[in-house]
């Protein structure tokens, strides 16, 4: 499996890194930079460090590269008007790196 660097990534202070995996087949999906405490509900595109999905073109939804299960759906956030992925609650597992 090839790991792609995200061209939209920007480093933020005071953040920690989470490893996101598929809940069904346990394959690697992405490394994500989380800023606040709390649950992982949505992933901002500019905070995804690297992933097994190519982010050079934006996708409508994120699917697991191995088993094809849906992990997230893209939408525009109301607060900051940015493109984000809303995660399916039972579609992923996360671990702090």
Model pLDDT, residue 79: 87
3: pLDDT confidence band, cut at 50, 70 and 90?
confident
**Which residues, at least 6 apart from 86, have a Cβ–Cβ distance to it below 8 Å?**
41, 42, 72, 73, 74, 75
Determine contact, residues 52/30, Cβ cutoff 8 Å. yes
pLDDT surpassing 80 at residue 57: no
CATH 2.60.120 corresponds to the domain 4-96:
no
Question: Three-state SS for 47?
Answer: helix
Q: How far is 82 from 46, CA to CA, in rounded Å?
A: 9
Positions of E strands within 1-97: 4-5, 16-22, 28-34, 42-44, 48-51, 61-63, 70-76, 83-87, 92-96
pLDDT surpassing 80 at residue 63: yes
Q: Where are the domains of the chain?
A: 4-96
pTM above 0.85, yes or no: yes
């Amino acid at each position: 499996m090839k790991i792609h660097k995200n061209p939209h990534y920007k480093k933020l202070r005071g953040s920690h890194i989470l490893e996101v995996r598929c809940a069904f087949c346990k394959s690697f999906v992405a490394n994500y930079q989380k800023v606040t405490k709390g649950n992982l509900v949505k992933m901002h595109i500019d905070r995804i460090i690297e992933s097994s999905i190519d982010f050079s073109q934006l996708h409508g939804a994120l699917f697991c590269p191995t088993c094809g299960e849906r992990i997230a759906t893209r939408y525009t956030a109301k607060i900051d008007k940015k493109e984000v992925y809303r995660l399916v609650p039972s579609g992923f597992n996360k671990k702090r790196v």
